[in-house]
Amino acid sequence: MSNEPRTLMYREALNEALMEEMRRDDTVFVMGEGIAERGGSYKVTAGLLAEFGEKRVIDTPLAEASFTGAGIGAALTGMRPVVELLFIDFALLTLDQVINQAAKLKFMTGGQGNVPFVMRTQGGTGNGVAAQHSQSLEAIFYHAPGLNVVMPSCPHDAKGLLKTAVRHNDPVIFIEHKLLYMNEGPVPTDDYLIPFGQGDIKRRGSDVTLIAWSNMIPRSLTAADKLAAEGINVEVVDPRTLVPLDKELILDSVRRTEHVVIVQEAVRRGGVASDIASIIQAEAFDYLDAPIEIVAGLNTQIPFNLTLEAACVPQEDDIIAAVKRAVYA
- Which positions are catalytic? 133
CA distance 265 to 271: 10
The DSSP letter of residue 288 is: -
For the chain, where are the alpha helices, taking DSSP H only? 10-24, 48-52, 64-76, 95, 105-108, 138-142, 155-167, 216-228, 247-257, 272-284, 306-312, 316-327
Q: Which residues contact 161 (CB under 8 A, 6 or more apart)?
A: 150, 152, 174, 194, 196, 240, 241
CA distance 57 to 153: 26
What does DSSP say about strands 260-267 and 208-211: parallel, antiparallel, or unpaired?
A: parallel
Q: Could you give the C-alpha distances from 228 to 202, 208, 225, 249, in angstroms and in order?
A: 15, 11, 5, 22
